[in-house]
Amino acid sequence: MHFSIIATAILANVIAAAPFTYPLANGFPKVNMTTLEEIFKLAGGTTPNVSPPATLTNSGVQTLQLIAANELFEIAYFTELLHNISFGIPGYRADQYIIDSLTAIVNQEQVHALAANGVLSHANKEAIQPCQYDFPVDNFEDAVLLAQIFTDVVLGVLPLAQSQFSSNGGDEDVLIPVVGSMIAQKGEQNGLYRFLQKKVAAAAPMLTGGSPQFAFSAISQFIVPGSCPNINTIGLEAFPPLTVETVPKAMNGTQLFSVKGSIPASNVSMVYISGQNIPVTVPISNINSNGGKTFFFAPFPYDSGFARGLTIGALVSGSMPSFNSSADVAAATFYGPALIEVN
């Protein structure tokens, strides 16, 4: 039963190396009642039937649009991953348990997207439409690692969505537990991805926070430029990427980073966001431009209380500025986020 759904879902995307393009074979993002029932069945549950807010604040709209954009990216990713597994693309193999789990997950993400866009439409705000996507993985192991990393990023930003809805007050309060339930669902997903990599199932007592700008920047790297009908309506801009070139370990050390382009030789610093701690600023050194890229080193003070799992790095303006929140960091960021995973 599951397999036939997957098999039809991917026929629209025959050439796997071409960008992933919507709609899914079930019609998603446009679904009729029959398809919706099928999605709910495969997802193991429905969209919430509590009354959505009649009105939304501007920041509430932005938050929901970012959630929708992220879910649309994730649906594309897991649909293509299931395709690669089901069609025996070299490098992809998984047992029935994993196929069943990923099938549930891709349908659950469809329910998330329908819920977020549904709340927007109900309040007469613009729902987000899907883009085309390209993913930088070509085997099952890397695909699971990437799924774990982008899920970590989303887990960091969804609690901020809850804060946002809470401080907006009024109508949006009803969304706080809904988002809480999505956080839990993504935590369950990451337990699977970590298990598949034989990593300790739960990474840290307090997972790393984030910011909407960092989450948007992270998913933007997978979007085919110019392919989004209305992603600009979110009003967020992606930072240019910051890459960690070395493999960080769970101890103090020094890491090599790179960016495409140049950076000022002075008055820039590296900042890390890890766990639910105040951001940590460190100096950078040995700035070296080579072939359109700029490389530099920065200490990685893992032993000063960093979380296992994701740490977010950002190259910011200022000489050793201090920050109290990830929002402050995002406001000063030139390049980021560096998605640093420590096991």
Ligand X SMILES: *[C@@H]1O[C@H](CO)[C@@H](O)[C@H](O)[C@H]1NC(C)=O
Nearest residue (CB) to ligand X, 234 versus 271: 271
CB of 184 to ligand X, least distance (A): 24
Pairing of strands 309-317, 268-274: antiparallel
**234 by DSSP, 3-state: which?**
helix
Q: Tell me the two tokens of residue 173.
A: 């309060």
Instruction: Tell the burial category of 101 from Cβ atoms under 10 Å away from its Cβ (0-12, 13-18, 19+).
Output: middle
d(CA 254, CA 98): 37
Nearest residue (CB) to ligand X, 118 versus 321: 321
Nearest residue (CB) to ligand X, 126 versus 328: 328
CB of 168 to ligand X, least distance (A): 22
Among 174, 194, 29, CA closest to 112:
29
Among 282, 158, 258, 259, CA closest to 208:
158
d(CA 74, CA 86): 18
d(CA 15, CA 332): 41
Nearest residue (CB) to ligand X, 137 versus 338: 137
d(CA 34, CA 12): 19
CB of 37 to ligand X, least distance (A): 10
Asked if residue 127 lies in contact with residue 115, where contact means CB atoms within 8 angstroms, the answer is no
Nearest residue (CB) to ligand X, 170 versus 283: 283
Asked if residue 271 lies in contact with residue 233, where contact means CB atoms within 8 angstroms, the answer is no
Residue 45: alpha-carbon gap to chain centroid? 23
Nearest residue (CB) to ligand X, 53 versus 275: 275
Any idea of the CA torsion for 156, 162, 168, 172, to the nearest 10 degrees? 140
CB of 9 to ligand X, least distance (A): 10
Nearest residue (CB) to ligand X, 261 versus 318: 318
CB of 74 to ligand X, least distance (A): 11
Q: CA distances (Å), 151 to each of 48, 189, 271, in order?
A: 22, 8, 21
Tracing tokens 């029932």 back to the chain, one arrives at: 37
Return residues touching ligand X (CB under 6 A): 16-17, 26-27, 32, 34-35, 77, 80-81, 84, 89, 135, 137-138, 143, 252, 267, 301, 303-304, 317-318, 322-324, 328
CB of 232 to ligand X, least distance (A): 25
CB of 177 to ligand X, least distance (A): 30
Nearest residue (CB) to ligand X, 66 versus 271: 271
CB of 215 to ligand X, least distance (A): 19
